[in-house]
Amino acid sequence: MKKSKYAFWAIGAVLAALMLVFAMGCGNGLRTDAPANDNSLQKVLDAGQFVLGFDENFPPMGFTNEKGEMVGFDIDMAQEICNRLGVKLVKHPIKWEFKETDLNDGTIDCIASMSVIPESIEEMCLSEPYIKEELIFVVPEKSTVMWIRDLKGKRVGVQSGSTTQEALEAMDMYESLSVIALDDNMEVLQQLKEGKLDVAFVDSPTAYYFMDSSDERYFILADSLGMEKWALGFRKGDKELRNRVQEILSEMKADGTLGAISEKWFGSNITTVR
């Protein structure tokens, strides 16, 4: 992949208010005190497996390749975490709008690429963020749309149940758009390619992956709806498991393993783990 495209992800800073809330929650990037009856880590060790919930149509974070294999940045990162825990990685594709249900009923142990927003901070125990990305609009080469103000009356695709959808709904001009909510980012981009949509509103990692892989040319609007950070999301009470995984992520950052995984999927080290 081309390194230049991913340089845009380094632009901007996290909103101070969000960071204040984040620092007060479980997912502050520091070790959190776990109650004496928290056996979340031991349960994973005893089971001999760690179940990762992920969106399987979210390249390059997690997706099914042409060989039918589930691959991506999140998969490789989770595999290394499991190697260091001494357990097997179980890859469990989830429907994104039901991710909290799958987590809380014990179907999965963790959610990959969880947006760090006040709601997730309140409802989950988050790791330190490991990726920063933008919420962006993608248009075909011949589109007349150049700015957000040009979206009026356009068919805009977005992933159902996502923070991108929430950001779109918060726009002042939302009611003037023809919004089409679809299952995942790749379906949104595929319908853009087929001419069923005028604009795709998606996460930047998937957008850049799609543009790199496509024979057609696409453009990104200069306007975006802000930046997000992604973390691993655990059940609210699973602090021991979260703490050990966070320790491993920090070890991976220090020894260069996390950077190497990022280089593989993004062409440069864009990770944000301290």
pTM: 0.80
**Residue-wise pLDDT tens digits, 16-71:** 334 433 433 464 444 456 566 889 999 999 999 999 999 998 999 999 998 999 99
Residue 199 and residue 203: Cα distance in Å, rounded?
13
Structure tokens at 38: 């928290």
The CATH code for residues 3-132+228-266 is 3.40.190.10
Residue 127: burial class (beta carbons within 10 Å; 0-12, 13-18, 19+): buried
**Residue-wise pLDDT tens digits, 245-267:** 999 999 999 999 999 999 999 98
**Residue-wise pLDDT tens digits, 201-242:** 999 988 998 998 899 999 999 888 888 999 999 999 999 999
Report the candidate in 230, 18, 264 with the shortest Cα–Cα distance to residue 130: 230
User: Does 244 have pLDDT greater than 80?
Assistant: yes
Fold (topology level) of 134-227: D-Maltodextrin-Binding Protein; domain 2 (3.40.190)
Percent of the chain at pLDDT > 70 equals 87
Residue 104 and residue 267: Cα distance in Å, rounded?
35
pLDDT of the residue at 37: 81
Residue 190 and residue 260: Cα distance in Å, rounded?
30
Kindly report the length of the chain: 274
CATH 3.40.190.10 in the chain is located at 3-132+228-266, 134-227
User: Does 133 have pLDDT greater than 80?
Assistant: yes
**Chain CA centroid to CA 161, Å:** 13
> Which residues does 133 contact at the CB level (< 8 Å), separation at least 6?
9, 203, 204, 205, 227, 228, 229, 230
- Amino acid identity for residue 135 in this structure: L
Phi, psi of 153 (to 5 degrees): 80, 0
Residue 249: burial class (beta carbons within 10 Å; 0-12, 13-18, 19+): buried
